[in-house]
């Protein structure tokens, strides 16, 4: 006989968003049931952000050895042990895992059920032999890799981000289908670890980012040896005598690419299968339909993170978690916004953005914008570290309000913290020009870009006349 639980909140999915809701609610003494059919910590911990950054870190170490001679240090050719790279990646996961573990959340007072969840009706969720009737439900089931229906793909061994980190041997000739952030990060990291990498992209690589900034990154990735094929359609995949064969089509005709390992990085799909959302009156298409308050068409149910569509980032899921906690526990207004959400691609150089890009700003504001730029090459610290490939690009309105910032360059993701704050608080170039940056740091490029807003003023005849007049008084 099924047992029934009646918590205040039932969370489906123990990824970053679901865990944040469960931890926050339990901290306020609210009863919570957390349901997870897979690994605690979800995609980010086990297959996404954490393992990818650990692999990228290994690649950086190999590249540091290659680049050492630029600084007067000879280190020789790096030797890569893929088994130890694998062990490094998984040791990082294991170190972080206890924070997301079932034991930790049970110690917080959360009831954790390790089963698949499905809605029985508008007020009930079933998980294993347990029925949960909660005051509010939060669906936080995330997303999983999308593998397009390429002819032959089902007959050829291939990786996604969920399996690429299990490898203990070199990928050899690696073919990456998809030139988005995941594809480019993995391509560069594997190239640095001694693989021969080809990326195939149907449109433009890093196509969701500002083309001017993306070009800086792509030039560097190509310089390191990655072949990037843009405007190239994959028409068929098959197993050849000496490896995997990917047949492609371009404006110039057809071609084929041979490799040893195939990685499919063509986007993600919301995890809605098996939830029986129809029985709960929850509308969905590719993702769950939500209001700007993250409520579904069932007023008892919220959806957050990737499963709710929109921006698919771990920090967005955390942001959503905070919004629904405000709404569920305190009845406070909580409206989901995206203009202040930053994002970063962790290639080298990194690529980061917050707010408007130049294209979206022109679409929203027409010609009533101003573009401010400052290159890394004119930054003293970047010169000292030989990290001069890069640019900060700031978009403001005519009054100097910061509408968006993009950075391609060393530590762009870290720098973006400050700019995310600036955009979220509606700051102006005057605010940025007025703060003092420590010297020598790369973050100075932002202040230099902001200060350049005033450059035209220095050339105005009236302003120069005032300066000359005031000089007369000593």
Rounded distance, CA 153 to CA 237, Å? Answer: 6
Query: What pLDDT is attached to residue 70?
Result: 94
Instruction: Give me the residues paired with residue 57 across strands.
Output: none
158 and 198 co-located in one domain: yes
Rounded distance, CA 64 to CA 466, Å? Answer: 53
Rounded distance, CA 270 to CA 305, Å? Answer: 9
pTM of the model: 0.94
Could you give the dihedral angle defined by the CA atoms of residues 384, 385, 388 and 390, in that order, rounded to the nearest 10 degrees?
-130
198 and 283 co-located in one domain: no
Rounded distance, CA 92 to CA 2, Å? Answer: 39
- What CATH number did the domain enclosing 374 receive? 3.30.390.30
160 and 221 co-located in one domain: yes
444 and 359 co-located in one domain: yes
Query: What pLDDT is attached to residue 2?
Result: 74
Both structure tokens of 139? 């669906």
Number of domains in the chain: 3
**Cis peptide bond N-terminal to 440, omega within 30:** yes
Q: Give the H or E element holding residue 111.
A: strand 111-113
Query: What pLDDT is attached to residue 1?
Result: 56
Note whether residue 283 is domain-resident.
Answer: yes
Nearest to 180 by CA among 220, 149, 146, 207: 207
120 and 240 co-located in one domain: no
Count of C-beta atoms within a 10 Å radius of residue 438: 8
346 and 446 co-located in one domain: yes
283 and 259 co-located in one domain: no
Is the separation of the CB atoms in 224 and 243 below 8 Å? no
Half-sphere exposure of 28 (CA within 13 A, CB side): 14
What angle (nearest 5°) sits at the alpha carbon of residue 254, between those of residues 253 and 258?
A: 145
Note whether residue 411 is domain-resident.
Answer: yes
Examine the fold and report which residue of 244, 266, 288 is the final residue of a domain before the chain moves on: 266
C-alpha R_g of the chain: 25
> Mean pLDDT of residues grouped by 10 in the chain (474 residues)?
91 98 97 97 94 98 96 93 98 97 97 98 97 98 97 97 96 98 98 98 97 98 98 97 96 96 97 98 97 97 97 96 97 92 97 97 94 97 97 96 98 97 96 93 95 84 80 80
Note whether residue 78 is domain-resident.
Answer: no
Note whether residue 368 is domain-resident.
Answer: yes
Note whether residue 70 is domain-resident.
Answer: no
137 and 278 co-located in one domain: yes
278 and 138 co-located in one domain: yes
Examine the fold and report which residue of 285, 302, 330 is the final residue of a domain before the chain moves on: 330
Note whether residue 46 is domain-resident.
Answer: no
Query: What pLDDT is attached to residue 467?
Result: 75
446 and 402 co-located in one domain: yes
212 and 280 co-located in one domain: no
- What CATH number did the domain enclosing 307 receive? 3.50.50.60
Q: Kindly state the greatest CA–CA separation across the chain.
A: 95
Q: Give the H or E element holding residue 471.
A: helix 461-471
Both structure tokens of 408? 């391609």
Query: What pLDDT is attached to residue 137?
Result: 98
User: 381 is in which domain, residue-wise?
Assistant: 342-458
Note whether residue 433 is domain-resident.
Answer: yes
Note whether residue 409 is domain-resident.
Answer: yes
277 and 129 co-located in one domain: yes
Rounded distance, CA 251 to CA 231, Å? Answer: 8
Rounded distance, CA 111 to CA 29, Å? Answer: 13
């Amino acid at each position: 006989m099924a047992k029934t639980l009646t918590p205040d909140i039932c969370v489906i999915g123990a990824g970053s968003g679901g865990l944040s809701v469960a931890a926050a609610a339990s901290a306020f003494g609210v009863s919570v049931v957390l349901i997870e059919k897979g690994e605690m910590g979800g995609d980010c911990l086990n297959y996404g952000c954490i393992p990818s950054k650990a692999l990228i870190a290994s690649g950086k170490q190999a590249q540091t050895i290659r680049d050492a001679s630029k600084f007067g240090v000879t280190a020789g050719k790096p030797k890569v042990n893929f088994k130890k790279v694998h062990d490094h990646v998984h040791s990082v996961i294991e170190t972080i895992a206890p924070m997301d573990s079932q034991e930790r959340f049970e110690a917080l007072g959360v009831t954790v059920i390790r089963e698949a969840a499905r809605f029985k009706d508008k007020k009930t969720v079933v998980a294993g032999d347990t029925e949960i009737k909660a005051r509010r439900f939060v669906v936080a089931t995330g997303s999983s890799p999308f593998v397009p229906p390429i002819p032959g793909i089902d007959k050829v061994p291939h990786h996604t981000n969920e399996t690429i980190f299990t490898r203990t041997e070199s990928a050899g000739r690696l073919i990456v289908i998809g030139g988005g952030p995941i594809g480019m990060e993995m391509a560069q990291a594997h190239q640095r670890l001694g693989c021969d990498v080809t990326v195939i992209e149907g449109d433009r690589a890093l196509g969701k980012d500002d083309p001017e900034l993306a070009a800086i990154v792509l030039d560097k990735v190509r310089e390191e040896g990655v072949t990037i094929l843009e405007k190239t359609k994959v028409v068929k995949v098959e197993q050849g005598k000496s490896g995997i064969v990917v047949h492609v089509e371009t404006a110039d005709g057809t071609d084929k690419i041979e490799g040893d390992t195939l990685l499919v990085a063509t986007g993600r799909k919301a995890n809605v299968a098996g939830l029986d959302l129809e029985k709960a009156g929850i509308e969905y298409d590719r993702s769950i339909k939500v209001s700007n308050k993250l409520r579904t068409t069932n007023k008892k149910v919220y959806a957050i993170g990737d499963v709710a569509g929109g921006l698919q980032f771990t920090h967005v899921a955390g942001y959503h978690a905070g919004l629904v906690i405000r709404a569920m526990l305190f009845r406070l207004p909580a409206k989901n916004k995206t203009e202040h959400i930053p994002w970063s691609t962790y290639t080298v150089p990194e690529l980061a953005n917050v707010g408007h890009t130049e294209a979206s700003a022109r679409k929203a504001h027409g010609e009533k914008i101003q573009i401010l730029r400052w290159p890394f090459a004119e930054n003293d610290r970047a010169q000292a570290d030989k990290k001069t490939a890069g640019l900060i690009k700031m978009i403001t309105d005519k009054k100097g309000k910061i509408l968006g910032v993009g950075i391609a360059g060393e530590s762009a993701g870290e720098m973006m913290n400050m700019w995310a704050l600036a955009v979220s608080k509606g700051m102006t170039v005057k605010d940025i020009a007025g703060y003092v940056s420590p010297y020598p740091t790369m973050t100075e490029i932002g202040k230099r870009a902001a200060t350049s807003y005033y450059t035209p003023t220095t050339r105005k005849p009236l302003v120069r006349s005032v300066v000359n007049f005031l000089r007369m008084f000593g």
